[in-house]
Structure 1
Amino acid sequence: MIDVKNLPFTDENTIPQLGFGVWKVEDETAADVVRQAIEAGYRHIDTAAIYGNEAGVGRGIKESGLAREDLFLTTKVWNSDQGYDETFAALEASLEKLGTEYVDLYLIHWAKPAQQKYVETWKALIELQKQGKVRSIGVSNFPQAQLEEIIEATGVTPVIHQIELHPYFQQRPLREFGEKHGILTEAWSPLGQGGNLLQDPVITQIAADRGATPAQVVLAWHLAIGNVVIPKSVTAERIVANLEAAGVRLSSEEIARIDGLDRADGRIGPDPAECDF
């Protein structure tokens, strides 16, 4: 069994640092790949209401035979479900699809600043945590201004912030803000998209030197700098290989070389400050 580190939250819970993401995995496929991931050794599954695959994820968990308390499960409230009462209803719908009485982590999927509902949505998450329906609460895709606003409005700081983060887009200011406030950083699209990052000469050279795949090198970099990371794959071999990245150790010099790949134009996804969906 691959040894994946558990990182502590400020609420005294913990999260497996390397998990399995299911963005763009079809519902009918999700059950099989989630079961495969759990059988391979993953104990952290990340989904979201908008992915449309919570039911499949739930089936996969059930088919794996793993006890619920041995798995860390994340889902997220979508933009159109933001609002205090709406968030309660959204979680109930997610729990029913997932076939569970609670999730380990519930996130606001996007701040969507123009909608102006993120503060009341955050207040709903705080109450849901008090009720025990979610163990921990955090956010995803929040500009720093909105992060500061929900903390100031409620006195409750998210335990984690899930953002686009990969060697071409390293989000140093948000990572530094998180470190200052005890917020873990979680990376989505940790391997970039389209394969360009995995063909970068810096990455391929380190991979050759380490006898690892380029993807394993990038994931090992995330783990080394303290990110929680949730790579996605529907291929059995890659599901296993990505988990094995937890056993790849990079030198400080190799980490510094990857640090040097950051680009001003490296963002792939939407800018959270301008989210209009």
Structure 2
Amino acid sequence: MALADARLLAPVRPASFRDFVSFEQHVQGAAAMTGNAETALAAWHQQPTYLYGSPHAVVGPDEPVAGLPEDQALDFELEVGVVIGRDGRDLTPEEAREHIAGYLVVNDWSARDVQRHEMRGGLGPAKSKDFATTIGPWLVTPDELEPARVGDRLDLTMTVYVNGVVFGQDSLAHMGWSFEQLVSYASRSAWVRAGDLIASGTCSGGSLAEAWGRAGRQEPRPLQPGDTVTMEVDRLGSIATTVVAAAPERSPIPRATPLAELQARTGVRA
């Protein structure tokens, strides 16, 4: 069977998904939306930061993606991820390199309306990520990338297209920390297990949110059903995803019940 006739599935079903924030220019742009860009950048320089994504949200490179029904600001995020090949804990960066089984392209989809609401409450992003993470098209082993290695970085050009037009481009070599350093940090007083996915975070020019932050308004427009987002990374391949309409909302999101009402209803008091 020819590759063009095959339907590629996700090359791994990760046991867990840690998504770092590793590109300085992305932080500069995206944080501008919050009004605290300088504070965010100062904190970013001090140490790596990651969020936990859901491994159950991972989809393959050929699968369409729908956003959340309550969100009107669907966004993409161009990243590279590594898959852990064997268990480790409290690893040095040098040791961490031996635990990386391979590399792949990652699109960490984001529902920005929901994300803004979550982060106003001091948490998140969480539900705003818990619907789709596209990975693929296959797992590329570290030895295949050695020609692109510059010290502890990999000089791989990362490009994202929206409906066939180049939207943004960067090099993986611009990560503020190497993958070995990120894996080492993740393993501090914790296990990284075989099958775990650890992603770089969004590169410069790799998301709409960064452009919105720099422009001070939501332009270009959020993604709409029918749009196609294509991501290419040198030596890793490309993934192309078509956006489809979200499923209709089956149940409205309830507001919290005020404590006074609960006490009156139940008669329970501390």
Return the TM-score normalized by structure 2: 0.25
RCO higher in structure (CA 8 A, sep ≥6): 2
Structure showing greater radius of gyration is 2
Q: Greater share of helix residues, 1 or 2?
A: 1
